[in-house]
Structure 1
Amino acid sequence: MTTLPAPREPLRRVAVVGGTHGNEMCGVHLARHWLKAPGELQRASFSAMPVLANPAATAACRRYMDRDLNRTFTLTFLRSEATPDDPYEVTRARELNQLLGPKGTDQAFDFILDLHNTTANTGVCIISESPYTVFNLHLCHYLQMQNPDLPCRFLEYETSQNETYSLESVSKNGIALEIGPQPQGVLRADLFSQMRALVMSILDFIELFNQGKAFPAFEMESYRKLGAVDFPRTSDGGLAGTVHPRLQDHDFEPLRPGDPIFRLFSGEDVLFEGDSVVYPVFVNEAAYYEKHVAFLKSEKIHISVPAMPGLSSSPTVAS
């Protein structure tokens, strides 16, 4: 595990982003609401800017138009010369990089909170790309303490490339807030209210940090992505089966060698052949079918998180 130290300056510029995927409706409708009434997001020490990330996909109620926007914030895309044939999301990624970045510079936003829904039964999940920071771990712990009856899990998501590619990677630090299950294109009142309340708590945490509050050390469990598992397939690449009933809806629960993971259309069960216990995440996520992913494997790790001392002086009120 690589853990970066906490920032030593207040977070003055924060973006709250919805609609990175245009059919994940909690973030879409919260962003639309806050664009009309941004006062709910503001705090004394900083100003938060609401952003609707993918307006074209949102209007079409699709995940994306040409390619997944949340996989498009690499420097290769952001720095390449624009052409008339660029996919819509490449053009939009460059626009967002100018608005919230540029990525990797001192001018970038201090923090991006990117709002997502999943069709999988993840509950509340904080996703932080590796390397994550002490700040993000303390933020997750704060949410756990504020919501003791609402499990909030921390997932370290290492990319398969040498650089991060998600929207929040444009800022100096950031997280994705993932809540499920919710069908694509559907807005559930309970998850909408839950996400709204969690965003308020996250902004409250940033305010406490900016005002110089110190946070003590603690112990916590975290999950680290190990890899992906595809569905069983026929010789021509089609599905040969689907997620087993004993695995369905059991995200973040232990999966042991020999446990069933798929049921073939022929009626046979496919068993997990790993040599250790793993914790499946995003089980049967609808958007991952095109990526040939039935679920992600993760390992559960125990983390000793160091204290986060208060800032030496409180910031001036944001204008």
Structure 2
Amino acid sequence: MASLFLPALGRMAVCGGTHGNELSGVFLVQEMERQRKEKGDGVWPIPVTTVLSNPRAVEECRRYIDTDMNRCFSTATLSSPITDSSPYEVRHAQELNNLLGLKGSADAIDMICDLHNTTSNMGLTLIHYATSDWATMHICKYLQTKITKVPVRVLVMDVPISDAYSLESVSKHGFSIEVGPQPHGVVRADIYLIMKEAVDLTIDWIHKFNSGTVFEGGDMEAFKFIKSIDYPRDPETRHLTAAVHPQLQGLLSPQAG
């Protein structure tokens, strides 16, 4: 019987601050950089690159400066010519693609874990682009067995990778971690610790996989993006004409990362 050999995941990047006011990822990347400075590259069992993705937005504690960076990583945007009027985030997205990609190439980094917060009370969710990404699915299953404080879910966007517009799509295998609820511009210690645990466990899974550990397969529930539904608006002014129902407030929220 033939055996299936999957390639090792040799390089990983942990990115925070893609949205500059989602601070758990910002603080976690800064903490990981402090650990590397104190203990050297051997602080983790695999090579890990840390990236503060949108430093200008982090400095101003804003989601973005000119345009949402996490919408700038489609193949079309990454290959667009840069002019004097190009948004800052488009320029920097191309720089990150050169650092971590090139997207879709054999030289692209193996795994990007991009860190986000949401105001939604959604626990911990891994968001990625294809059910065929075996690495992300196994990591999510591993996190589900290890993290008990909050639900751990996976959301599949299911679009061609060339059209995928968020940072993790630059890597061969990638996902964003979305943790909430947390207001923008602040840090909740409990949310930060959940994110840190997820990143530590992801590094642990990759190390075990690279060392030859065999992980069991099986079924796993995954959610699929269908469509966005806007709030009701006044047809003339476009002002909102509704709010979240009190019985749903705290369960659902209008903005995720």
TM-score (norm 2): 0.91
* Alpha-carbon distance in structure 2 between the residues aligned to 1:225 and 1:171: 21
Which 4+ residue blocks in structure 1 deviate beyond 3 angstroms?
A: 39-44, 158-162
Instruction: Give CA deviations for 1:213-253 in whole Å, capped at 9, x if unaligned.
Output: 111122221111111111011122111111112222224xx
Q: Deviations over 1:160-213 (max 9, x none)?
A: 996211101111111111100000001111111121111101100011111111
Q: How does 1:1-319 map to 2 (within 5 A)?
A: 8-38=6-36, 39=39, 42-44=43-45, 46-159=46-159, 163-236=163-236, 237-251=238-252, 283-285=253-255
Distance 1:89 1:174, change over 3 A: same
Name which one, 1 or 2, has greater alpha-carbon Rg. 1
Question: Could you report, residue by residue, the CA deviation over 1:260-312 in whole angstroms, capped at 9, with x for unpaired residues?
Answer: xxxxxxxxxxxxxxxxxxxxxxx32277xxxxxxxxxxxxxxxxxxxxxxxxx
- Cα distance between partner residues in 2 of 1:10 and 1:149: 30
Q: Is contact 1:41-1:48 (8 Å) kept? A: no
> Which amino acid is 1:198 matched to?
A
Query: Does the CA-based 8 Å contact 1:22-1:63 persist in structure 2?
Result: yes
Cα distance change of structure 1 residues 43 and 7 upon mapping to structure 2, 3 Å threshold = farther
Query: What is the RMSD of the two structures over their aligned residues, measured on CA atoms?
Result: 2.0
2:186 and 2:155 map into 1 onto residues whose CA distance is 25
* Higher strand proportion: 1
> Which deviates more, 123-132 or 25-34?
123-132
Unpaired runs of 5+ in structure 2? none
Q: Secondary structure at the match of 1:58?
A: helix
Letter in structure 2 aligned against 1:202: T
Distance 1:161 1:148, change over 3 A: closer
> Could you tell me how far apart the structure 2 residues matched to 1:85 and 1:41 are?
42
Q: Secondary structure at the match of 2:177?
A: strand
Mark the CA change 1:160 to 1:232 in structure 2 (over 3 Å): closer, same or farther: farther
Q: Which residue of 2 aligns with 1:268?
A: none
Pair 74,122 (structure 1): closer, same or farther in 2 beyond 3 Å: same
TM-score (norm 1): 0.74
Unmatched 5+ stretches in structure 1: 1-5, 252-282, 288-319
Aligned residues: 250
Higher helix share: 2
Deviation, structure 1 residue 148:
3.5
Taking the aligned partners of 1:60 and 1:248, their CA distance within structure 2 comes to: 29
User: Contact between 2:20 and 2:55, CA under 8 Å: does it hold in 1?
Assistant: yes
Partner of 1:257: none
State whether residues 161 and 169 of structure 2, in contact with CA within 8 Å, keep that contact through their aligned partners in structure 1.
no
Larger RCO (CA under 8 A, 6+ residues apart): 2
Partners of 2:193 and 2:161 in 1: CA distance = 35
Q: Which letter does structure 2 place at the counterpart of 1:109?
A: I
Distance in 2, matches of 1:34 and 1:124, equals 20
> Aligned equivalents of 1:100 and 1:219: distance in 2?
32
Q: Which amino acid aligns with 1:100?
A: L
- CA drift at 1:69: 0.5
Q: CA deviation at 1:158?
A: 3.3
Which deviations, in whole Å up to 9, do the C-alpha atoms of 1:6-50 show, x marking residues without a partner? Answer: 982111110000000000000011112222322588433x21011
Identity fraction in percent: 41
d(CA) in 2 for partners of 1:22, 1:172:
25
Q: 2:78 touches 2:97 (CA, 8 Å); kept in 1?
A: yes
User: What is the rounded CA distance, in whole Å, between the counterparts of 1:131 and 1:162 in structure 2?
Assistant: 16
CA 223–30 in structure 1, closer or farther in 2 if over 3 Å, else same: same
